[in-house]
Amino acid sequence: MSTGKLNYHLEQLKGLIEKNSNQKYALTSFSKKAIEHLNLIEQKTSPEDEKYVKIAAFSQKTSIQPILKAFLTISIALSAVLTAVWVFLAYVFITEGAPIFVFILMPVLIAIGLGLLGTLINALVRAPSWIKRFEQR
């Protein structure tokens, strides 16, 4: 596991684990009580309540982060391809000749493409922190 992923998961467990005097992670008293309560709930769950326990367990495991990261990655790829096409067309128009408005339009389109590409890359880099804040709400 990479350091970034480890730090992300340790942050998710804040309040449930802490470093002890040996600098090793250990359960807090709060997490020990939580485990006891969860075990009691699991032992006393009626068949009717079983579906709600499964729903609660599933909702704790789901996250929009993988979906959003995949969406941003695909968007970056499409934006890069679109910008590359605009650069190629600009090259063709310069070498073959084109009307004046094309010479004005192509730099604008290329600048928009590069700006969009930069924005998407920035969003992908910052995604874990703002997704975490969004999911906590």
Tens-digit pLDDT profile for residues 12-67: 888 888 888 888 888 888 888 888 887 777 677 677 777 776 776 666 655 677 78
Q: What is the overall mean pLDDT for the chain?
A: 83
- CA dist 90 and 103 (Å) reads 8
Q: Which two tokens stand for residue 130?
A: 């703002």
- CA dist 120 and 106 (Å) reads 21
Q: Please measure the distance between the N-terminal and C-terminal CA atoms of the chain and give it in whole angstroms.
A: 28
Cα–Cα nearest to 69, from 28, 123, 6, 19: 123
- CA dist 48 and 52 (Å) reads 8
| pTM, rounded to two decimals | 0.52
Tens-digit pLDDT profile for residues 83-121: 999 999 999 998 988 888 888 999 999 999 999 999 999
